[in-house]
Structure formats: structure tokens, C-alpha cells
Amino acid sequence: MREYALATRATDPVYEADPSETPPDEVVAPLTFAACFAAPAALAHDPELGWHWNLVHAKQEYEFHRLVRVGDVLACTPRITAIVSRGRTELLTVEVACTDPRGGAAVVTSRSTIAFFAEGGG
Amino acid sequence: MSHTQGDQLPVHEHVVSQEDVLRYAGASGDYNRLHWDGDFAAEVSPTGEPIAHGMLTLGLLANLVAEWAGGPEHVLSLSASFRAPLPVGATVRVGGEVVDVDRQGGLTTVAIWAETGEGEKVIDRRKSRAVIATR
């Protein structure tokens, strides 16, 4: 999370603080840290999908139901919600629902649309 | 917090270096060669050069929005449409403008955007929004 915060220039000094002196539940994740655990690439190993890496991220949506903190355990379930062909490009939309496994409350919902350019599968 | 339609978020400017992109790759687990391998990028990148992760730009923008909103707990949703690539080493500017204020519902909608130093639209403000809870 510290590396993610540094790469995205988060200004909260908590990310630079000594982790041994900071209670983990006081460290709130940057909003888009969800990209680390709710990424559509979780499906890259699905043999039926024919994932390849000639792609770009076309669209991203997040709904934040509550903040994520260091030490949280989340259950993340990816679901393909659309596959659309547009000429030689295929658009894959994956929704990942991240919930608190104790009780099932929604934490963050991610919707990613990935554009795959013609090459092999996709 | 009281917002008015047309309010501008402060514009933040960053240079996204190869080091930033490698750090983002390591933190996120997205090691797509497009972001760091010049030979691979020469074949598949829209610019022929390595480009930054779209999510790195959205991360810069999300941090701006969270700061402006008074903390990430006030941000209910983000949506972003990625358009132009951001070449590694390029300058990116991020900003936003309040486009809707629902005082009864306690919601402010911000059109968010990112562009290169040359004005290429990396995140398209027409299709990118942040929704902020104001109470």
C-alpha cells in the first residue's frame, strides 16, 4: 500500500510513517488501491477467455461503500458482464464485487472495460 | 461543505517517470510489458513507446479528488474513460469541475479529467465523473 501510495503521489503522511508505530486500522487505503485486489486480470488465466496482452484499459468505474484499511480481509468475486466486438477490437467488461466476508457487506465494486486488439484470442 | 456548479478543483501537475511506472507495476501487480519494455512497446503501444498505466493516472486524479472532498470517506464513486495514452516521462495535469450540486440529496458531481502537457486528453472529462457526499 505504501508503494502504491508513493506511485500515485498520495500526500497523507501516514504512508511515510513507521509501520511499527502506526496501528494498521488507522491506515486508510488510497481509493484506487482497489486496482490491486479487484483487477480484471484475475481472469487472465481462464483458458476459455483467450486473454492476451495486446490490450488497453478503456474504462474504469468504482463504487466505494466503505473505506479499506490495512489488515482488512475482503472476498472479491469477478464476473464477466459484457463482451462486445467493435471491428477488430473486443471489449471485455468485468465487474468485481468486494465484500466483507464476515456478514457480506459491500466494500467496493469495480467495473473495468478492457479493449483487446486483434491478435490470437481475446 | 458547500459547492457551486462551475467550482474548479485545483489543477495538479506531475511528471510520470519510468520509476513511478515500475513502482506502480510492483504495487498493483500489473507487469504488462507495454509499460516498461521498449521493444514490446515498439510493437503494440499506440505511441510506439512505453506508456503509463491508465490506473496510475486515475490514482493521481483520485488522490486529488479525495483531498478536495475533505477525505476519501466522502467519495462515493469514480468513473473514468481512458482516451489518449500517457507516454512514460511525460507531464500529466489532473483536475475537475463541479457540474451538478444536489443539495437535498447531499451529492456533488465533479467532471474529472487528465491531460498531457501537450493537451492530449488522457482521461476524458465528458465521460468521467466523481460523486461526492456533502453531508
In this predicted model, what pLDDT tens digit does every residue of A58-80 receive, in sequence order? 999 999 999 999 999 999 999 99
Please, are residues B47 and B85 in contact by the beta-carbon 8 Å criterion? yes
**pLDDT at residue A122 tops 70:** no
Which residues are CB-neighbours of B108 under 8 A, at least 6 positions away? B1, B3, B98, B100, B101, B102, B131, B132, B134
Q: How far apart are CA A65 and CA A79, in angstroms?
A: 19
Nearest-CA distance A27 → chain B (Å): 12
**Residue A42: pLDDT band with limits 50, 70, 90:** confident
**Which of A36, A59, A117 comes nearest B27 by C-beta?**
A36
Task: Report, as ranges of residue numbers, the positions in chain B whose pLDDT lies below 70.
Answer: 1
Span A13-25, mean pLDDT? 87
**Residue A119: pLDDT band with limits 50, 70, 90:** low
Nearest-CA distance B26 → chain A (Å): 8
Phi, psi of B99 (to 5 degrees): -115, -15
**Residue A120: pLDDT band with limits 50, 70, 90:** very low
pLDDT greater at residue B91 or residue A119? B91
**Which of B56, B63, B82 comes nearest A59 by C-beta?**
B82
Query: Which positions in chain B touch A59 (Cβ < 8 Å)?
Result: 79-82, 127
Residue bearing cell 503501444: B45
Query: Which positions in chain B touch A58 (Cβ < 8 Å)?
Result: 81-82
Please, are residues B9 and B97 in contact by the beta-carbon 8 Å criterion? yes
